[in-house]
Every structure is written in structure tokens, then in C-alpha cells.
Amino acid sequence: MAPVPHKPLLATVLGQRQERPPMWIMRQAGRYLPEYRETRTKAANFLELCYTPELAVEVTLQPLRRFDLDAAILFSDILVIPDALGQSVRFATGEGPLLEPLDEKAIDRLDGARALEHLAPVFETLRRLRAALPPEKTLIGFCGAPWTVATYMLGGRGSADQWTARRFALEHPKAFDRLIDVLVKTSIDYLAAQFEAGADVVQLFESWALNLDDTSFARQVIEPNRRIVEGLRQRVPNAPVIGFPRGAAGNLRHFAETTGVNALGIDFSTPIDFVNAHLPPDLPVQGNLDPLRLVVGGEAMESQARAILSAFKNRPHIFNLGHGIVPETPIGHVERLIEIVKAE
């Protein structure tokens, strides 16, 4: 049998602290890279970019050609799931995603039967990435966690307070639970197929784990994430999973203990001392530099990056931002950040 290649990032997710923390950058393929903007013009629209393996492979690999990163993340979007379920999804230039908002009746018309077939190009992208990547690089697959995806499906677009979805969950609990059930089931199928196609680890993006009281957090965030981890591991034993409940704050520990994720993405508003005080010392963490510090660079970036490296040096740690990189980020600042992390 061929020896299993050492992948520092995957090993860290599995709980093995590395001498130097491995790193990747949330949303590392994207508009801050001129080569991404160039490739983007070759697709008629954003979803076509996601569903064209040749282009999706190209943009996935772009950040790794420039930077010494330890992982590639599949180029796709969390909103391919509503698209695959038959909801109308489009990406208007400069406006972000626009969906036809769901009502109770539209929830019952969502069609999970054909979803995987619709997503077949994503699995082809992963197979090609697996073949193209050096063995020491970790290949990350992902999906949106059900609550976060539901906020877009119910609200029709991104929003600062997720008002429409939060209200729907309380006013129409049965219809809301049916929506979450469809999303949990489809996400399990989708992630299991990503592992089959070559993903080493998957991340569940719960970008809107905010603005929820305890009861709603348990029902809308923790329980669906837990069901996905459990259902996925029935299909892919020991599947490595990174959870990222952005804004979980005081619920972070409860999330980590209950969902069973291997590693926890930490958003940048969570104090690093809080993480060390409240999360088990052997729990792998990922994060958590404020993307704005990467925009500004210099001392604002360097001192905080060093503080994070120092605070997490005795535990399994994946260096990352505490949310996605933004389009105005100077490439030179990314290069400098990587130098700092590699100098550890």
C-alpha cells in the first residue's frame, strides 16, 4: 500500500498540533485576485462559474499558485443548494445573491430528488482538483449550514439581522422544520459525495449564527449542524468536519460539544483568551484575524497575527481569518501575513 501522505492541515483538524500552524484563508479564491476577475468574465454568470469544472478548478488553484497555503477550498457557493432544490437563485453584479423568497407552499415544492444530479459538476471539479494538487495539500469541501442557507432562502438576499427568517421560524415552526429537514438531508448527500470525489475535510459555514436567543440557537444552529455531522459519519466514517458558527459567542462551547465537529472556526469578535478559557485545550481551533486588519496591513495586522499565533501555540491551531477575505485586500498584505505565520 502507498504510504498515507502527511497533510499538516488535515492532521490539525484531526487533533495533531503542528510545529508551525498550517493556514488557509477563508474565501481565498475571489475578487481581490486579478486572475479571478479575469476568469470570472469567461462565465456568463456566477453560477455558471461554479458549475463549469474547468473554470472552477482554475479559480480554486489560483491562490495556491501565488501563496504558500496548506489547503485548497473547492470553488463553489453555499447557494448552489437552493439552486439544486429548484429555487430561483441569481447573483446580480455588485448586489450579491438574489433569490425568489420561499413561503410555506414553496417549501413543499422543493425537490430533493434531483439535487445531486444537478450538483454533478461540483463533484467533477473535486475529482480534477484531487488529481492536480500536491499530496501534502488538504482539499476542503464545504456547504452552508442549514440555518444560514435558510436565511437566504426565506429572506431572498443577505441581510444584517436575518429578520425575515427569524420571524418565519417562530411564526411557522412546522414549515420551518420541513425546510431544515430538506436542507439537512440534501447537505448530508452533498457532503458525502464531496468526500467520495476527493475532499479531505469539509467546513460547515454557519455565517449567520447571530441574533438568536438560546432556544433558537439550539434549534436553528446546533441541532441541524449536529444532525449533519451524525448523518455524514454514518456514510463516511470519521469524516473530518470544521464547524464555523460565526457569532456563536457564549454558545461556542455548547456548539462544539453537541455537534461533534472536529475543529472549530473562531470568528474575529471572539476574544482569544475566551477560547482558551472555555474550550477544551485539545480542541482544534481555526482563526481568527479580522479581515479588516489584512486590508490595513502593517502593525495593525502584524501585532494581532502574532498575538493569535502566541495564544494558540499550545493547541492544534489552523491560522485563518475570522471571516472571509474582502475584495479590497492588497495582495502584498496577504504575502506578508503568510511570511509571519511561516516564520513561527
Place of cell 439537512: 184
The DSSP element (H or E) to which 234 belongs, if any, is: helix 223-235
User: Which residue in the set 8, 53, 82, 97 belongs to the binding site for ligand 1CP (CB under 6 A)?
Assistant: 97
Calpha distance 301→281 (Å, rounded) = 26
Q: x/- contact string, 221-260, with ligand 1CP (CB under 6 A)?
A: ----------------------------------------
Amino acid at 163: W
Q: What are the cell numbers at 66?
A: 501565488
Q: Is 28 in the site for ligand 1CP (CB under 6 A)?
A: yes
Calpha distance 209→147 (Å, rounded) = 8
Calpha distance 339→226 (Å, rounded) = 36
> Which residues contact residue 23 at a Cβ distance below 8 angstroms, ignoring those fewer than 6 apart?
9, 69, 70, 318, 319, 320, 338, 341
Active site residue 40: yes
User: Which residue in the set 9, 22, 46, 337 belongs to the binding site for ligand 1CP (CB under 6 A)?
Assistant: 46
Contact 308, 340 (CB under 8 A): no
Strands 317-321 and 71-73 come out as unpaired
User: Which residue in the set 32, 123, 142, 176 belongs to the binding site for ligand 1CP (CB under 6 A)?
Assistant: 142
Give the 3-state secondary structure of residue 23.
Answer: strand
Active site residue 36: no
Residues numbered 309-338 forming contacts with ligand 1CP, rule: CB under 6 A: 324
Active site residue 65: no
Q: What minimum distance in Å lies between the beta carbon of 31 and ligand 1CP?
A: 5
Contact 241, 204 (CB under 8 A): yes
Q: Is 40 in the site for ligand 1CP (CB under 6 A)?
A: yes
The window from 14-22, 71-79, 177-185, 271-279 that contacts ligand 1CP (CB under 6 A) reads: 71-79
CA-based angle 157:53:208, to the nearest 5?
25
Calpha distance 84→186 (Å, rounded) = 9
Active site residue 31: yes
Question: Among residues 32, 70, 77, 226, which one is catalytic?
Answer: 77
Calpha distance 97→145 (Å, rounded) = 17
Question: Among residues 17, 20, 40, 306, which one is catalytic?
Answer: 40
Active site residue 178: no
User: Which residue in the set 205, 217, 255, 319 belongs to the binding site for ligand 1CP (CB under 6 A)?
Assistant: 205
Q: Is 199 in the site for ligand 1CP (CB under 6 A)?
A: no
Q: Is 207 in the site for ligand 1CP (CB under 6 A)?
A: yes
Based on CB atoms, which residue is closest to ligand 1CP, 75 or 268? 75
Q: Is 274 in the site for ligand 1CP (CB under 6 A)?
A: no
Calpha distance 29→86 (Å, rounded) = 26
Contact 226, 259 (CB under 8 A): yes
Calpha distance 55→45 (Å, rounded) = 12
Q: Is 87 in the site for ligand 1CP (CB under 6 A)?
A: no
| Closest residue to ligand 1CP, based on beta-carbon distance | 158
Q: What minimum distance in Å lies between the beta carbon of 4 and ligand 1CP?
A: 26
Q: Is 67 in the site for ligand 1CP (CB under 6 A)?
A: no
User: Which residue in the set 20, 91, 104, 304 belongs to the binding site for ligand 1CP (CB under 6 A)?
Assistant: 91
Size of the site for ligand 1CP (CB under 6 A): 21
Contact 205, 142 (CB under 8 A): yes
Other C-beta atoms closer than 10 Å to the C-beta of 300 total 14
Q: What minimum distance in Å lies between the beta carbon of 28 and ligand 1CP?
A: 4
Query: Which active-site residues does the annotation give?
Result: 27, 31, 40, 77, 152
List residues binding ligand 1CP (CB under 6 A).
27-31, 40, 46, 73, 75-79, 91, 96-97, 142, 158, 205, 207, 324
